[in-house]
Amino acid sequence: MTRVVITGLGMLTPVGITTQESWEGFKLGKSGTRVLTQADPSQFNSRVSAEVQGFDPSKYFTPKETKKTDRFVQFAVATARMALEDAALDPKKEDPYRIGVLVGSGIGGLRTIEEQHKILLEKGAGRVSPFLIPMLIVNMAPGQISIAFGLKGPNNCVATACATGSNAIGDAFKLILRGEADVMLAGGSESCITPLGFGGFDSMRALSTHNENPATASRPFDATRNGFVMGEGCGVLVLEALEHAKKRNARIYAEVVGYGMTSDASHITAPDPTGAGAARAMTNAMKDAGVKPEEIDYINAHGTSTPLNDKVETKAIKVALGEEIAKKVRISSTKSMTGHLLGAAGAVEGAICALVIKEGIIPPTINYKTPDPDCDLNYVPNQAERNKVRIAMSNSLGFGGHNACVIFREFQE
């Protein structure tokens, strides 16, 4: 029977521009939220965001290539390189048709659309870049990764809003189980903190307006939460068939063992208030993994810091695990530190789950000060915990009602 393990991790986040820098920040409870700089903050109700600081595309692209790629694609290629290097996997020494890419994005090249639309209005259609379309389309993240590293296996792109990253990991996991690839690069990338993107979420009143102290604006499960912090970043995991990994003596972080997904079929943005869809995704993932609720040691929650999401997810966890077990399991929302990375969120959080299992350190939910009676579980408030974690669950809930859950387990022969 095929087993799928994680052998490489890449993270580019508002907390750090490398995997290690991000992970160290998560353990310390470092906030990546700052005053918005990629748009004029004075025009919005929310004036904070979680932006990637210090990313230099020239380390990965020539100046000519940089002009032809949107920032979300640059993030994807850079993070894929991190993951491959971390896995010590040289694609040139492998069958390229057995290595695939499944990296998604919730929104894609919105930055490029805005820039080129301005050129259209000010200078005319003849000045619009011929690279507009291949810069903005969402599938160019996996496309450019495959070109950069010569990967000719299955290549696909998920676009399920905030569930994208988890769906990408889960779908890649299933591709390997079906024998269609030996290795998959899986994850999500997002960079749409632009005047239009930020303005859209701000008009929905979805964003945090705790502007007075940006570092505390994202406060999942806290009674004073009033919206999410818009973020950007990327996560890519190297998923590998166990036999393939063992042949090359690869280091193994964790094993992917379960995947579930459902639809709320309820509302375009709000989760089903009963939590039934999210709960069923968790139940399906546990069934797929062959694990019982009492075996779950840690949940990386979707935990966006919006009033409805956190309340509904808490309810869904109780339904899926049973209230008594739910009260015991450790839960954290790392969005308290990264903000909401949209299509990249589930990928970064999947990588975090793998590191939690490998190192036995659970990152905290920071900015948790005021308990909410509707959110009454153990959210690992404010300080990381050192605890053995054998099985971890990662939840992602997206606009449109998309629910995805991935389960990771400590690797054992």
Residue of 162, 234, 375, 405 marked active site? 162
User: Counting every residue, how long is the chain?
Assistant: 413
405 classed as catalytic:
no
The identity of residue 206, as a single letter, is A
Q: How far apart are CA 212 and CA 315, in angstroms?
A: 31
162 is catalytic: yes
Nearest to 188 by CA among 139, 240, 135: 139
Name the active-site residue from 210, 244, 302, 402: 302
Active-site residue identified among 340, 353, 402, 405: 340
For tokens 């590998």, the residue is 240
Residue 84 in contact with residue 146, Cβ under 8 Å?
no
| CA distances in angstroms from 52 to 16, 85, 238, 338, 368, listed in the order given | 7, 21, 22, 9, 23
User: Alpha-carbon distance 49 to 22, whole Å?
Assistant: 17
Our answer to whether residue 157 is catalytic in this structure is no
Largest CA distance in the chain: 64
8 Å CB contact between 75 and 55: yes
Among residues 8, 9, 36, the alpha carbon closest in space to that of 339 is found at: 36
Active site residues: 162, 302, 340
